[in-house]
Amino acid sequence: MTAGLHFVRRIRRTPYTSRAEATGLTGYSVYNHMLLPKSFGISVEDAYRHLREHVQIWDVSVQRQVEITGPDAAMLVQWMTPRDLSKAVVGRCYYVPIVDRTGGMLNDPVLIKLAEDRYWLSIADSDLMLYVKGLVIGRGLDVDVFEPDVSPLAVQGPKAEALMADLFGEDIRSLKFYHFTHVAFSGRRLVVTRSGFSTMDGFEIYLDDSSLGEALWDAVWEAGQTYSIAPGGPNLPDRIEGGLLGYGNEMTVENNPLEMGFGKFCKLDGSIDCIGLEALQRINDAGLQRMIRGVVFDGDACPPCSIPWPVMAQDKMVGQITSAAWSPGLDTNVGLSLIDRDFWEPGQPVTVLSADGLQRSGRVSVLPIR
């Protein structure tokens, strides 16, 4: 399970890759055809503890941007998601499930409203730009769709605010969650959001000039010396505990947003026109048959979950674990699974059949797991 990754241009390096390598990168993932630094020579458990106490710098350039600009941009963006964007304002970020005509998830990006006619979709792991291009060509819309030269760098952890204030000024402290502002860096004006794929406080800096990647990394790194900064990446037990779902892990086109717990982002009363509305209404009317849940299960630290593991209630398979890890905070294993409706109540006893052949006793939990 430790076979090496072959390096080719097709798996794109980022403006920060050289710096990540210089700070001891030991493990990658590949995400949106790009390198995602994941580990830096310390255990996932130690990285988890560090993230929750200090501050980390993450190269999340893999959150590639799809820019949509033009007269039809607002209409297109609303058409693409069941989330009601009629009151969306410039300066805010919106988590927007994207579904096809069957209600199946295609991506779950963060929408950044830059102007009334200009948006970025900060994407999860599928080529959402191709879908947008298809919609635009198919319907003959008047917008430009392209990937701008934008590479998000995340600063995550309880000391992120102090670091960012030192680097960009005290005003950044008042930035609210899922809002954005602009900061000055090296002659540019960069979008900074208060967001990130961790359970901790954090910011994401949307660098719009690749040639400044190393300079930005160095500036954050230097400002972080006071705060015990370390390099890092999305931390598996942290995200599982927090109920942060991963496209391709917890959900694929086989899943609808309602069962993923995104019902609050689905306006199904017919007041908006969006792709998949009828399918989602039908699914909602029929009643959900399963729902995403946490699962807490015992035994030693579980192996990585690369093929879903059955979740059993006595002899019946009632779900499948799609991500799993040992949680240092909860001192037990944690996982994420869709669970059938008759078994989805928190506390439901289950058995997890992990890839190492063990049968592990567990229970269903709400999300975030507790």
List of residues contacting a second copy (CB under 8 A)? 1-13, 25-31, 33, 38-39, 100-101, 106, 125-128, 130-141, 147, 246-249, 253, 275, 304-308, 322-323
Q: Number of C-alpha atoms within 13 angstroms, CB side, residue 336?
A: 25
Nearer to a second copy, 12 or 92 (CB): 12
Give, for 20, the enclosing helix (H) or strand (E): helix 17-22
Q: In the complex, what is the shortest distance from the CB of residue 66 to a second copy, in angstroms, rounded to a whole number?
A: 11
Query: Smallest distance from the beta carbon of 360 to a second copy, in angstroms?
Result: 18
Query: Exposed e or buried b for every residue in 301-323, given b needs 16+ CB within 10 A?
Result: ebeebeebbbbbbeeeebbbbbb
In whole angstroms, the minimum distance from the beta carbon of 135 to a second copy comes to 4
Distance CA 263, CA 64 (A): 25
Closer to a second copy by Cβ: residue 48 or 247: 247
CB of 39 to a second copy, least distance (A): 7
Q: Are 177 and 165 in contact (CB under 8 A)?
A: no
Nearer to a second copy, 71 or 134 (CB): 134
Question: Minimal distance in Å, beta carbon 6 to a second copy?
Answer: 5
The residues pairing with 350 across neighbouring beta strands, listed in sequence order, are 362
Instruction: Give dist(CA 184, CA 300) in Å, integer.
Output: 48
Q: Tell me whether residue 263 or residue 308 sits nearer to a second copy (CB atom).
A: 308
Between vectors from CA 342 to CA 338 and to CA 348, what angle results, nearest 5°?
75
Q: Which of 294, 365, 360, 299 is nearest to 332 (CA)?
A: 299
In this complex, which beta carbon is closest to a second copy, that of residue 162 or of residue 253?
A: 253
Q: How near is the Cβ of 235 to a second copy at its closest, in Å?
A: 12
Q: What are phi and psi of 359, to 5 degrees?
A: -105, 115
Smallest separation, CB 175 to a second copy (Å)? 30
How far apart are CB 333 and a second copy at their closest, in Å? 16
CB 325 within 8 A of CB 334: yes
SS3 335: strand
| 289 versus 306: smaller Cβ distance to a second copy | 306
Nearer to a second copy, 227 or 297 (CB): 297
Q: Exposed e or buried b for every residue in 333-364, given b needs 16+ CB within 10 A?
A: bbbbbbbbeebbeeebebbbbbeeeeebebeb
Nearest residue (CB) to a second copy, 134 versus 169: 134
> Among candidates 151, 164, 149, 150, which has minimal Cα distance to 56?
164
In angstroms, the CA 365 to CA 346 distance is 5
